[in-house]
Amino acid sequence: MPVVTHEQGTRVWMRRTRAGDLVAWLGWLIGVALTVLCFQFISDRTIWGFVWDAPAQAADLLERSVPPRWSYAHELWRAMWDTLNIATLGTVLAIATAVPVAFLAAYNTTPSALLVRPVALFVIVASRSVNSLIWALILVIIFGPGMLAGILAIALRSIGFIGKLLYEAIEEIDPTQVEAVTATGAGRAQVLAWGIVPQVMPAFAGISVFRWDINIREATVLGLVGAGGIGMQLQASINTLAWPQVSMILILILGTVVVSEWLSARVRHAII
């Protein structure tokens, strides 16, 4: 109670009680202390000489990457095409898997809240927790380097993403519309198709396009671990310290990402 009445009868208002104030300050103190402690840990593992040298390094890097090697571009088109395919096919694969998983995970559509739902939720969580680059790392070990590992890595990571957002959308639908369809005597599948699917369709399309956009970005780095795409060229160029090639690749990635973002924004706009 922040209103305190003194003995003289004057009332004083404060934002928090004394105890509340104390807790707030203590919270801030702990937060700052933790940050300092963490930074200390990082600092111990840092060679500060290199860090002070960073501006010079950056200038040097910039100088060596300018101008980009424009002629290198024609060797990159194929890699860029592969990158787009990894992202797109991975997304398609993920959508095909995530849709049933989402319907199994949503409490209002799952066939069994006790048995099936936890399994579906586990699939979603496991897929989401692991970064696509780590998935790629594992898949390259298993299936060997190449686009297959890349596509599967993108798909495995995206199942969780699409599945989570989609099942949340399914759980948020308006139940009266479902009721109305059920009241017409529709069967289970009909209720799904007429009462639920139309309601989640915009969300579903939006989520898919959004994830595709993210996947383009992710696909540009999968090559660093050998899972195909333009990241392979990036890795090779960095290893040989061919900085003009690196800057050329970065420019190409920049262009692609900008275009894909524009495209996905347009599509999402059209849907909503």
* Residues 178, 180, 185, 186, CA torsion sign: negative
Asked whether position 39 contacts another protein by CB under 8 A, the answer is yes
Which amino acid, residue 143? F
Number of residues that bind another protein (CB under 8 A): 61
Partnered with residue 13 across adjacent β-strands are 3
Minimum CB–partner distance for residue 67 and another protein (Å): 18
In the complex, what is the shortest distance from the CB of residue 41 to another protein, in angstroms, rounded to a whole number? 5
Query: Stretches 69-77, 108-116, 184-192, 249-257: which one binds another protein (CB under 8 A)?
Result: 249-257
Judged by CB under 8 A, the residue of 23, 33, 96, 125 near another protein is 125
Question: Residues 23, 66, 193, 258: which binds another protein (CB under 8 A)?
Answer: 258
Rounded Cα distance between 227 and 250, Å, is 18
What is residue 174's DSSP assignment?
Answer: -
> Strand, helix or coil at 11?
strand
Q: Retrieve residue 261's tokens.
A: 């973002």
Is 196:173 a contact under the CB 8 Å cutoff? Answer: yes
> Which of 58, 66 has the CB closer to another protein?
58
Angle (CA) 207 210 212, round 5°: 110
Residues near another protein, by CB under 8 A: 1-3, 10-15, 31, 34-35, 38-39, 41-43, 45-47, 50-51, 54, 57-58, 61, 81-82, 85, 88-89, 125-126, 128-131, 133-134, 137-138, 141-144, 146-148, 217-218, 220-221, 224-225, 234, 238, 250, 253-254, 257-258
